[in-house]
Structures are given as structure tokens and as C-alpha cells.
Structure 1
Amino acid sequence: MAGETWKTIQERWRHHRLQMIGIALVAALIAWACERTGVLESTEHIAYDEALVRYTGGREKSQQVVVVAIDQSTLDRISQDPQLQLNFGNWPYTRTLWARIAQEMKAAGARAVLFDAVMDERTADESADLGFAQVLRETGLPFYVGMASSGTAKPLARADFTAPVPLKAPEPAPTPEPPGDTFPEEFEDAAAPATPVLTDQALARALAFPARWTDGKALPRLGDTPSRKASPPRYPVPPTPALVGAVNGVGLVDMEADGDGSIRRTAFAYTDGTNTYVTLPVRMMADLLGAKEVTLSGRTLRLGERTWRVNDDGSAALDYGGPLEERFKTVLLFDVLDDWIRRSKGREPGLAADTFRDKVVVIGGTAVGLNDIKATPFSPMQPGLVKQATVVDTLLSGAFITRAPEGVDLGLTFLVALVSAVLLMTARWTMLEVVWPLALVQGLFVLTGLLLKTTHTHVLMAMPALAGVGASVGALAFNHLVANRETQFIRQAFHRFMEPKLVEQMIRSRQLPRLDGENKEITAFFSDIRGFSTFSERFKEDPRQLVRILNTYLTAVSGALLREGGCLDKYIGDAVVCLFGAPMAQEDHAVRACRGALAAKAAVEALRVDFREKGFPDVYTRIGVNSAVNFVGNFGSDQLFSYTAIGDGMNLAARLEGANKAYGSVIMIGPRTYELAREHIEVRELDRVRVAGKTEAVTVYELLALRGQLDASTRQTVARYHQALGLYREARFAEAAAVLEAEAARSPEDGPTGKLLERCREYLESLPENFDGVANLEK
């Protein structure tokens, strides 16, 4: 059964492979067009997010990055403490607070601080800005702040990184007064320098950072996002002048969200058409790695001696590894401030000594009221600083997620479409047609998820899934079209040779025949009119009458066979060839053939009576029935072909029909037919015969009646025949003849009795050489 199924699949591929490839190609092209036009963007985002969460989430906390959170409790506790509110005010706090935080970070051994916010507005008390700048210079703590871009910002001069940075002389500034008397020694700063007045070149040098493509590609423009290009030109908004020269570096903190507002990717460098700028994490890492520029080459980002794999356009997806609270140790800003107060009073800090030691500290807002809540694949409500922390952690020791080359996406898309088309168009299993699209989508989800986890590669899922489903729909449509054509062909081809209700049943049950041929066990029926040549001589002067008689005979025999579910193969003159078990599968094909043979015999007997009354010659039919595996299908030429069977089984059925003459029988059946139908029929074992061209002898039987319908007289005749046959096979011809003579006197019309008696008398006179009780059945 499995072998036949595999053969069927191979033949369907051979006959329809061009259609399969065509369906797959069309489905792949449609999916590609949908992906290119953005139709699948939302679906791809959903699939990517789900795979990212399921397959890359749950990673352990970073050992290199610590988050200091400006949370709601920090805002509440500062606002509820009169002294702290007097010193630092309400949100946004004076720069004095950040000076204290910087001092504490230095004391706690932080490696660097990345402040995920912008400080581009001058405060009312400029001395606070100057004091903060002075603290940064004194501590030497690597401190980096963000900058935004705006369409209303002033364009900067072109930065010349080869020339010295010119600064105008600072103007004198008043010494700031202590903000309160709680911590007089700590809060009293020395006379702060005046606010420096930067030249245009100095400001450009402070904000810009060298970045380039080595292969001539263009960097994205400020304001561009992964999903759209910015229309109006944008320029960076610098921090307050007091901080420009005090912080170690400034970097972009624009949102970089996809079209649905979720942050999945980042670009590392931008341009405003004049200068190049890098994102805040890249600016900090450039200093930590000693890099003087950012270079992009092919799919590689380079900072100093370190490289990371990125996309062709210089961007990369973020490997979050989980939500913020699971990936990074988070310390409240108030706890850091409290530790500074403790240190200033000579007390031990409350936080563990190694909390910040040798760590990169990312400071940012987590409170909802700070309006820095963003969407990521792991949550629609994540603090925006999770992006900066993730990029920093990846740059320190990790890998970004990059898109697979377009060729890989297209190859997978076509492969999925082709597999879908081939599978459904060759197998044609209803259950597979239902299950396959679901299994396909789930399989692609697992595949893309595992690739994300193991190789940090994002292979598109929506495009191949659409191609696979589209190819499946195309394959089903083709199958139904082919099935309709096959159904129509079957109906036209067989309605004259089978009972119409059986044809429709075959079509409804989808038992459509293999018209290109298959090996199948069937039962073949052959019948012929005895002495038809003599019969036709009577009508040589009136051939039309002969045709009418012959048509009447063939109609009677054919009707009996069709009622038993037979398929008329052909008429050869007066001969009728019929198949049982093909094209429609019939488990009881042997029984049906035997019933059909008996019914045909009865129909001919009725015709003989009618013909005698009309003065027509007698018609006497001989029938051969044999079951065997034959090759059935359409045979013929381009001009004419028909559904038939070929094989030794068919040859034996024809021989059995002719052998009736030698045995005086009417219906002779082969051994396999008897084996399959023995519980339903009454037979007489006629002889063991050897067919011409074969060495093995087979037992042949005369079909007499259906089980239980044999009259007592015939039963006695059969018993005497079997007794004589046993004596005959032992070469006791005289004894066999005696039994047969007695039975012939009682039943003179029994043909097999008379024929065996003749053979016994013949062998009494001349015994053949090497007699083995087997008769040779010649052609």
C-alpha cells in the first residue's frame, strides 16, 4: 500500500511538476510584493515579537550594566522632604542633584554613567549648571548625556576634527550661595568658573562624532526611523553651554520606533548633511574602547578593535533578553541620593559596596509621569531607558539581531511555497489539506524563533507563511479543478460501461481510477457464443437481422453484468469482456463476477426460449471467469484508447472461456476466483490444467449456482463426477468410466460427465506417456 502511494505521488509530480513550480512561483512573488509594499509589516512585527519573547526571553541579569531609576517613589519622597525640595526643587530637578549623583557614582566606583535624558534648557540659577560642570571635571567620572534632534534647531558648522578646539575666554561669574544649611560643607562649592562662550567650531566638535561607511553608502538622516524617512531637515539640539565642555560626550537619544510605535531596532550613526552624529551608547563605548571614529563596512560595525554584525543599512535589532526588571539590576535614584547623604555625614552607604563598582550606570526615568514609557516586544509599557541599557550591554559583550540576507528570505519563501504546492498536489489527502496550513505557520514560527535564539538572525516569517498558504490555496484550487476534470472524464468514459449509479458512487467516494495504469487484483469475465460462425451463416442474406439479434444478445448479457457492478471492457464481435474490481474498487469482485456470470447464463437461457419461438438459431454461451493481479488503465494510441486490463490473469480468463468446449461446461472459473468466492458459490472441480507457456498446473472449476441453490440431482451428479475424477487421476480409467457411464445414463445432458467419460475410454485404448492427471490447456 505504501509503495503504491509513493508511486502515485511520483507520477503526479511527473505529470504536474510545471504547474506546481508555477503555483509556488506566483505565490512567492505575491508574498514578496506584499512584503515590499508594507502590507505584511504589522503581521511580521507580531510574529517577530512573539518569537523574540518566547525564544530569547528569560536571560539572566546583566553583570555589566546597572540601572538607576527615577521612579515614582523617588519623586514622591523628594517632594515630601522639605530640605531636599529646597535643595533640588521639583522635577525636573536642579543640576545640583545630578552633581551629587555624579559624586556618589564616582565614590561607588562606577565605570561610566549614561544619562538617558537631555539637558538642553538653561536653568534659572545658572550657577547650578556651572557647579554641576565643575563636579564632573573634578571627579573625572565618564559622564554622557543625550541630545535630541529638531526641525527648528540651528544648523551647526562643519566639524573639523583635525584642528584644535578654539574657546573664547570665560566671563567672570558670581560664586553660588549654598542652597541650604543641612549639609553646609558639602553643598558649598568653590567659586565656579563663568559660563564658557563656545565658538561654532567648538560646539560642532563637541556634538559631532566621526562616522562613515567604508563602501560609500549614506548614513540615515536625523529624524529617520526604521519605518520612514524624515521629510524636513533636522539638526541636533545642544546641551546647555556649561555642560558641553564638562561631559565626556553627547549622543542622540531619539526614539527610533517602528511604525507601530514599538522600539525594536537602532541605527548607530546619523547625519544632518553636514556632520555625523552617533547614538548615546555608541558615544560612550567609543571612549571606553578608545575609538576615534565609527566605521560601517558591509554588515559590520567597528569601534576601535571591536566589531559587531549589523544589517546592510547599518541598523540592528535589539536583543532585549527580557523586560527591564528581569534583565538589569535596578537601583532607585533616591537610594543613590541617600547614600551620598550618608557619605557626607561619614556614615556607611546603604547599598552594597559592589553595586556600581566597574559597572556602566544608565540613569533614566521609569515613572509614568515622566513621559518616557515606550513599547518594546516584551511589553507595551517599558521605560525608554531599557533601549539604552540593552544597547550598552550588547556593545559590552553581546550580539545584535540582524536581518537575514534578502536572498535567504526569498529562498525560504519559494521553498515553503514549493513544498506546499508539491505536498498538497501529490498527496491529495483531505486531512493534510486541513492540517498543513496550520502546521506550516507553526513550523515557520518555531524555525524563526530558533534562528533568533541560536544565531541572532531574523528570518522573515510572514512572507514565507503567506507564500505557503497562498500556494496551498492554489494547490487546492488546482486539485479541485483536476478532480472536476477527472470526474467529468470518468463520467463520460464509464457511463456506457458501468451502471450510472456506480459511476456516481465512485466519484462521490473519490475512488477515481488511475487512468495512467496501476497493478490491481480484479476479476475478468469473458463470454462467447458457441458456433457463432455457423450462426451468422444463417443471416448472410439479411445482415441487419443478424445485427438486431446480436444487439439483443449483447444487451441481455451486458445488463446482467452491469447490475452486479461490472465494467464493460469491450465487445469483440459476439464476445463480451467485463471487469470487476476496476475502475471502482470492490472487495467482493470475485463474488460479483460469479453472480454476474450466473445472471448472464440465465439471461441467455431466456433468450434461447424466445429465439426458438421466433425460429432463430439457438444461442449457447460459454463463459470464463478468472481473478488475478492485472495492470489496468487507459491503453491505446493518440487516436483511440480505452480503459482495459492486461496480464496473465486476463489471458487465463480467455482460455477458460474457450476451455468450456473441451469440458462440456458453461461457466469455468480459475483457482483464485474459487478461493475468493468459495463461501458464496457451488462449483464442480473440473480438472487440473496446464496453460500453454506455463509449467505450473492450476485447478479449474465449473460454476454451477450460488451457495444453497444447487438442486439435489445436480449435487448427485457433481459427487459422482468428483468420484470418477479421483479414479481418473490415479489412472484407474476403467473404474472411472464405469462410474461415469452410470451417471451419464441418469443425466445424459451433463456435459462434463460425457467429456470425462470420452477421455477415460480414450486412455483405456492408448495411455499417454508420463500421465500425471493434468490436462494441457492449449491456445
Structure 2
Amino acid sequence: MKPFLHVYALRLRHSWKFILLAAVLATAGAALCQKYDLLRMSDAELGAYDQGLTFFTRGHPRSKDVVIVGIDDKTLQGIRDNETYVRNYGVYPYSRNLWARVFEHLVDEGARAIVFDGVMDERGTDESNDLALAQVLEERGIPLTLGFSINAGQPALPQVEPVNRLAHAPPPPAPGVRPAAGSEGGEDFTEFAETEGPPPLTPEEVARALAFPVHHPGLTLPSLEQKPGDTGARLMRHPVPPLPALVRATPGFGLVVQEEDEDGRLRRTRFAYSDGANTYATLSLAAVADLLGAERVELMPGKLKLGSRELPINPDGSAELDFGGSWKDRFEALSVYAVLEDWARRQEHQRQGTPYVPVIPADTFRGKVVLVGGLSVGTSDVKSTPFQSDAPGLVKHAVMLESLLSGGFITQAPFWASLLLTFCVALFSVALITLVRVPMLELAWPLLLFFGFFLVTGLFLEHGRVHLLNAMPVYAGELAALSAVAFNHVFANRERERLRLAFNRFLDKTLVDQLVEQQKVPSLEGETREITAFFSDIRGFSSFSERFKDDPKALAALLNRYLTRVSSVLMRHGACLDKYIGDAVVCLFGAPLNMPDHAVLACHAALAVRDEVEALRAELKKEGLPDVYTRIGLNSAEMFVGNFGSEHLLDYTAIGDGMNLAARLEGANKAYDTTIMIGPRTYAMAREHIEARELDRVRVAGKEEVVTVYELLARAGALPAAKRATVERYQRALALYREARFEEAARVLKEALAADPDEGPSRALLARCERYALNPPALPFDGVVSLEK
């Protein structure tokens, strides 16, 4: 396993219980906020949904099924400026004969069906205009679905067995209507003679016209009960009957009801409602059911069925509206005034036989469902959608018609799926922060979580038309991340104190601070890394201590003085004190603090210790105290470092052959009368920063491996010229020695000793050359020396 993966595995082993608990608690907290709308969760959810909808779902192709004909500003102004139109239709709200002309012309232009987003439940000032509309609907068989409203003060309708009238034979003509031909203002308007009028409607007749057969197994339809916030009282609202003539003449009716969310925006529909006695389909649903010839609406958890067409919806019988962008981009919209002008030109053409130049291109309405309603702010039908704060109210019906005919709705993912996703987000968040432990990630993750989950839920909206709850997982992720940050800081503070207590005695304070800030706790199990081991010992300590056999306290004081001076120098150079073995000092460079230049630091530290000991020796000599001549061994190698010991006592140290060789090199100084001996890896890593010479190739005690050893002399560039000349002579003599040219090597060594009588390595090699000159070694000669302990 790679080292960083091993670290994560150890962290997971120590913190998995916390990770799991934090994820569960964060999920539970977010779910409670979702259920009880704590921390304004509903506002956050709606806001996130709107952002995802507007960012990811815009750009739907222009509708091929639905065309809007609206009362826009052009209509209001155009009719107002036309005396003939004002005389015939009045000003807004227009008399019903205007709609007779519009509906008739739309059918003549090939409209598949007409959906009127409005109600006609109040008698006009001229009842003949109302009858004119009814007559046109009957005689032309106009496929109209008309809206009806509800009111709390309206009497309840009796319970009836609803039947979709458009799926059956058309109703008989309304009695009492007698058309009389005539003309007014140069246009062909039908006038009605005064009659006694149609017989009054019975409540049962109204109920059968307005109620719609809705089969809803497993669902409770939303009630038409008035919201408590509206008036403070809970009252059931009942349908307001349209004009009697229209009840008998209009083939279909649909409920026009406000379905805004609490913030006033249109986002979803419930399709059908109940007043406790009958069921009523919303305007768009009733219209499409008629178009598809469905005898009833089948509304089930997760499914809406209209005849042979089946659409997925939410389990509660609702669905989110797929607006698909700005309504102006989604739907073709024409003015009622343009339709009226087009009708008038056709009438003129029929009377006078003049060329007919249509206002609206041919086939604009052919095969389309035409939605008629208010577009201008002046019609007081302005609603807010996720895409627009001042959209006309009929946009909702247009989107529903499109979705029911050829598209689909946005459905909410099952709550269990959102809950599972919430748990996964919380678990990932707390695991990520807890295991990685990078401060920048702790700061960046909440922001990354928000944008990342926004992207995920947006892609579900765009490609799957599925609404995943956004706020609940993000809340859980943020809460989980916050708990992980708190855990990390508590854990980090605890670990900092533990590290300080564990290493303050062994490392310089600044190095302890660096170790703490590395945020990597030395592993109890240990780790393999390349380090440099340092061993030092006082020459002849046994005889040294004999002088204090009657005064051990003085011995302890002197030894403490020596160890303090040496240890201080080592710690200033980055050493980690491993242990004291009597007078011996053992330390590590490169652990627990990672030091790429550990070999260089160890060499410089050894030279500094040599200088410090020389100063101490001078002080002790003046005080009449024993000498503390010190030998040092350094070796660099991959070693296993960590806390070793028992449950009762742990020690941070290193083990391995590299450690043993460092100890052997310290002892090998005796054979060459040197102070600091270093191993080959140490020399290779530090050679650019030190002055050193190759001493020999040796086989140390207890090992068969041949090792090239070096004497550390000074920092780079600090070797005196005289010493450098001595070193050069030694190197020449060593080369002759390895060629078995012992007499020649001896002459060179004698020259070196003549210049520097205290040159220990030259003296040791000279003795060996003279011995081999008298008693030559067996051939082939390898020049390797086996050293005793």
C-alpha cells in the first residue's frame, strides 16, 4: 500500500465511529429541518430548485402543439381606438360576442381545440351577446374548454356521477334561442330576438357539467377548502356556475384555481380537486382529456393516465411544471386583436369579393391547441414563475397543455432516495474532512459542496426531469463538514499537546513546532524512511568513571554537563535525541521531522559537536577534571522508525542494519585514531557540503559486508592547506596499498607523518604496510580490513 493510503487507512481505523455517527446525526438533523421547515429549509429548497430550473432546463424547443392568443396591450389599445369594435364589443372586459367571433375564426383556421383561461359566470349588460356565444358554440361544434372558478360563499353542488361529455354525444341545442340575420357597422353580427330565454339550470345539471370523472385509488385529492391564512376561517369553496346558456352549450369545463407555492410562485400542479361531493379537473387536464377522448382521468401515486397516454407524476399526485425557459421563447403568442382583424378581413372578402390578405399566416392554428387568455398587465392576470416574476397567468396552462400532450412533468425523487443521497453526502463530507485534514479543504469544501450538488441536481433536472431535494443534502453535508472540522481541531489540539509532550525533550522547540504543523503524527506502528543516525561515545569512559568511584554525585554532574552541551548542539542542528546509553549519545536526523538534507545536517552537527567538546575539554583541563575526548559515527540508510516498547514505556527510535552500522563506525574510530567516521551513503549525500577523505574498506564486527568508510574533516572549503596536503598524501598511499605496493605506500605515509606527526590514519596504515611488506598477504589482495569491536 502506498504511504499516503496507509495514512488514510490508519485515520479511518481510528475515526470510523465518529464518521458514521456524524453522518447519521447530520442526516437526521437535515431531515428534521426538511420535515418541520426549520432554518427556513423550504425557502432554501425552493430557491435552489428555481436556480437549477432556470440554469439547466431553459432552451426547450418551441411548442408544436400549443399557440397562445392573448389580450395584450395591442388588443386593449386597438379595440379602444376602433369605434366599430367599441360599439360592438365594448371595452375590456369585452362582451361575449367578441369571443364568438374569435372562437369561430380559430376553428375556421383549423384549431384542434380552444382552451379559455377565464370564467364567464356573470351576465353581460346585453344578454343577447351571451346567447350569441352559446349559439356559435352549438352550431359550429367548437371544441372549447372553458374555465370556472370557486368561491367560499357559493352553495354546494349536489353529488353526481360525473361523465366526460366530450367523449360522448354532443348535448342538444339550448332551447329558446332564435337567431335573426342582420348587420351592423358593415360587419356580419348575429342578433337575437327577445325571447323568454332558456329554462333555469338545476344544480344537478350544473354539477354534471362541471364535475369530471377522476379515478384516484391510493390518493386523497386536495380539498377546495379555503386556506386558513386567507380569511382566518376554514371554509369549503364550491364551483361558481357559468352562464346557463354556456353550461348547456360548452362541451368542456375545467377548474381555474390558484396553485402558487407559499412564496407566490407557480411551480407545480395537483391536476384535480374535490369539494367533498364531486371531483373537478383543472382546466388544462380537462382540455387534454377531451382531446384524447378519455372518459375519465386516472390519478394514482406516481402515475397519471389519460386514455392511452400515461405520464409519471409525484407519489402524492402532484407534479412540477417544466417551464423550459421564458414563455415567449417556448410558445408562439398572437394578439386577440390580430385574430379579430383577420376575421374582419375574411368577412369583408366574403361580402365584397375583394382580395383577402390575412393578418395571420395560414396554418398558424391548424392542428394546434389554442390557449386564449390575458397577456397584458391590464388584465390583472400576472403571476410569478421561476423564470419570470411578472409572467401572465396563462403560462401555467400553456406549460401543462404542452406537458400533457407531448412532453412530461418534472417529478420529485422519492423521499427515501433523497434521504439516502443526503446520508451519502454527509458521510462523504465528514470522511473527506476527517481523513484528508487539509485546512484549505476545510475552508473550500462548503463552497464546493454547494456548487457540486447544484451541478448534480441540475443535471438530474436537465436530463432526467427529476427533482432531487437540494437543500436537505447540502444542509447535511455542511453540518457534517462542520462537525468534521471541529473534530479535526479538537483532535489536532490533542495531538499537538501529545507531540509537544512526547518530543519536547528530544527536539528543539522550533522543530517541535514544525512537527506539529506538519499535521502528521508519528505513527505508532512505525514507518520506513531514510534517515541519518548519530552515535557518540567518550573514549575510555570506564577508566574515566573510576576516578569518581567515591564521588558518584560529581560523576553525574560532569556527565550531565557533557550531555547537556552535546545535546544542545545536536538539537540546534535538527537532531531528534533518541537515547543516552551512559555517556553515549544516540540521535536521529530526518525523523520524526522530514528533512531531505538530513545527511548534511548530521555532518554539520557532528563537526559542531567536535568543536563544542574541544571547548569543554579545555574547560575541564583547567578545572583538573578528566578528559572527555569523544568519537562519533554517522550512517545514512533506510530504517524503520516509530514508537517501540511496551504498553508501559514507549520510545521513539529507529531499528535496522543502518543503525547498527552507525554504532560500529563510532567504535571504528579507535583503529584509525579519528574523531568522526561516516558511512558511504552519508558521504554520497553530503559530499558537496563537507571535506572528507576515504579511510579504508572495512568489514565491521558482526557483519560480512564490506563498507567503504570516510573521515569527516570539516565543512566544505574549511580544511586548512596543511591538512589538505596530508590528506592528499594519504589518498596516494591508500591507492598504492590497494595495489599491494606496500614499500612505496610506506614511503608516502612517512612523508605525511613527518609533516603531521599526529596524523592517526597515516600512522595506522603505515603499520599495516610495514607488516605486509615483511609478511605479504595472500593473493589476490583486496585491501579489506576486518575490525574488531
TM-score of the two chains, using structure 2 as the length reference: 0.92
CA contact (8 A) 2:180 2:193 kept: no
Shift of 1:162: 8.0
Q: Does 1:641 align with 2:650?
A: yes
Task: Name the amino acid aligned to 2:728.
Answer: A
Query: Take 1:313 and 1:505, find their aligned partners in 2: how far apart are those partners?
Result: 59
User: Could you say which residue in structure 1 is the equivalent of 2:736?
Assistant: 727
Query: Take 2:744 and 2:278, find their aligned partners in 1: how far apart are those partners?
Result: 124
Query: Take 1:230 and 1:691, find their aligned partners in 2: how far apart are those partners?
Result: 101
What secondary structure sits across from 1:678 in the alignment? helix
CA contact (8 A) 1:737 1:761 kept: yes
User: Could you say which residue in structure 1 is the equivalent of 2:298?
Assistant: 295
User: Could you say which residue in structure 1 is the equivalent of 2:438?
Assistant: 429
Shift of 1:538: 3.3
1:82-481 paired onto structure 2 within 5 Å = 82-161=83-162, 181-183=184-186, 185-189=188-192, 194-215=197-218, 217-222=219-224, 231-345=234-348, 346=350, 348=356, 349-481=358-490
User: Could you say which residue in structure 1 is the equivalent of 2:42?
Assistant: 41
User: Could you say which residue in structure 2 is the equivalent of 1:552?
Assistant: 561
Shift of 1:620: 2.6
CA contact (8 A) 2:128 2:192 kept: no
Query: Take 2:59 and 2:721, find their aligned partners in 1: how far apart are those partners?
Result: 88
Query: Take 2:271 and 2:600, find their aligned partners in 1: how far apart are those partners?
Result: 82
Query: Take 2:394 and 2:422, find their aligned partners in 1: how far apart are those partners?
Result: 36
Q: Given the alignment, which residue of 679, 682, 697 partners 1:673?
A: 682
String of CA shifts for 1:8-67, please: whole Å, max 9, x gaps.
333333332332333333333222222222322222222222222222212221111111
User: Could you say which residue in structure 1 is the equivalent of 2:580?
Assistant: 571
Shift of 1:504: 3.0
String of CA shifts for 1:75-102, please: whole Å, max 9, x gaps.
1221222222121122211211111222
Shift of 1:404: 0.9
Q: 1:324 to 1:680 in 2, by over 3 A?
A: closer
What secondary structure sits across from 2:189 in the alignment? helix
User: Could you say which residue in structure 1 is the equivalent of 2:713?
Assistant: 704
CA contact (8 A) 1:86 1:180 kept: no
CA contact (8 A) 2:164 2:212 kept: no
Task: Name the amino acid aligned to 2:726.
Answer: T
1:50-69 paired onto structure 2 within 5 Å = 50-69=51-70
Query: Take 1:705 and 1:54, find their aligned partners in 2: how far apart are those partners?
Result: 70
Query: Take 1:482 and 1:633, find their aligned partners in 2: how far apart are those partners?
Result: 20
String of CA shifts for 1:513-551, please: whole Å, max 9, x gaps.
556543333221111122323333333333223222221
What secondary structure sits across from 1:115 in the alignment? strand
User: Could you say which residue in structure 2 is the equivalent of 1:774?
Assistant: 784
The worse-fitting range, judged by mean Cα deviation, of 401-410 and 307-316 is: 401-410
Shift of 1:701: 0.7
CA contact (8 A) 1:131 1:192 kept: no
The worse-fitting range, judged by mean Cα deviation, of 113-122 and 187-196 is: 187-196
Q: Does 1:605 align with 2:614?
A: yes
CA contact (8 A) 1:114 1:281 kept: yes
Query: Take 2:320 and 2:520, find their aligned partners in 1: how far apart are those partners?
Result: 54
User: Could you say which residue in structure 2 is the equivalent of 1:759?
Assistant: 768
String of CA shifts for 1:148-199, please: whole Å, max 9, x gaps.
222222111111248999xx99998586888972257532347778223232
Shift of 1:256: 0.3
CA contact (8 A) 2:164 2:290 kept: no
Query: Take 1:516 and 1:437, find their aligned partners in 2: how far apart are those partners?
Result: 34
Q: 1:174 to 1:396 in 2, by over 3 A?
A: closer
1:470-619 paired onto structure 2 within 5 Å = 470-507=479-516, 513=522, 517-619=526-628
Query: Take 1:128 and 1:176, find their aligned partners in 2: how far apart are those partners?
Result: 12
Query: Take 2:195 and 2:116, find their aligned partners in 1: how far apart are those partners?
Result: 23
Task: Name the amino acid aligned to 2:612.
Answer: A
Query: What runs of 5+ residues in structure 2 fail to find an aligned partner?
Result: none
Task: Name the amino acid aligned to 1:775.
Answer: V
User: Could you say which residue in structure 2 is the equivalent of 1:21?
Assistant: 20
Query: Take 1:706 and 1:253, find their aligned partners in 2: how far apart are those partners?
Result: 94
Query: Take 2:757 and 2:577, find their aligned partners in 1: how far apart are those partners?
Result: 35
Task: Name the amino acid aligned to 1:421.
Answer: V
Shift of 1:308: 0.4
What secondary structure sits across from 1:110 in the alignment? coil
The worse-fitting range, judged by mean Cα deviation, of 140-149 and 679-688 is: 679-688
Shift of 1:464: 1.8
Q: 1:66 to 1:302 in 2, by over 3 A?
A: same
CA contact (8 A) 2:662 2:679 kept: yes
What secondary structure sits across from 1:301 in the alignment? strand
The worse-fitting range, judged by mean Cα deviation, of 238-247 and 192-201 is: 192-201
Query: Take 1:621 and 1:444, find their aligned partners in 2: how far apart are those partners?
Result: 66
Aligned length: 774
CA contact (8 A) 2:187 2:347 kept: no
Shift of 1:766: 5.8
RMSD in angstroms over aligned alpha carbons?
Answer: 2.9
What secondary structure sits across from 1:708 in the alignment? coil
Q: Does 1:75 align with 2:76?
A: yes
Q: Calculate percent identity across the aligned residue pairs.
A: 51
Query: Take 1:61 and 1:517, find their aligned partners in 2: how far apart are those partners?
Result: 67
Query: Take 1:224 and 1:303, find their aligned partners in 2: how far apart are those partners?
Result: 28
String of CA shifts for 1:535-580, please: whole Å, max 9, x gaps.
3333333322322222122112112212222221111122111112
Shift of 1:649: 2.3
Shift of 1:733: 2.5
Shift of 1:753: 2.3
Shift of 1:247: 0.9
What secondary structure sits across from 2:60 in the alignment? coil
String of CA shifts for 1:614-640, please: whole Å, max 9, x gaps.
444433321101122323332222221
What secondary structure sits across from 1:723 in the alignment? helix
What secondary structure sits across from 1:379 in the alignment? coil
CA contact (8 A) 2:138 2:173 kept: no
Shift of 1:384: 0.5
Query: Take 1:192 and 1:295, find their aligned partners in 2: how far apart are those partners?
Result: 43
Shift of 1:279: 0.4
Q: Given the alignment, which residue of 715, 725, 731 partners 2:724?
A: 715
Q: Does 1:655 align with 2:664?
A: yes
Query: Take 2:780 and 2:296, find their aligned partners in 1: how far apart are those partners?
Result: 107
TM-score of the two chains, using structure 1 as the length reference: 0.93
CA contact (8 A) 1:252 1:280 kept: yes
CA contact (8 A) 2:548 2:555 kept: yes
String of CA shifts for 1:197-232, please: whole Å, max 9, x gaps.
2322222111111213223x211112589x999943
String of CA shifts for 1:249-308, please: whole Å, max 9, x gaps.
111111200111110101111111121111011111112222122112231111111110
String of CA shifts for 1:392-445, please: whole Å, max 9, x gaps.
111111110000111221222222222222222222334333333322222222
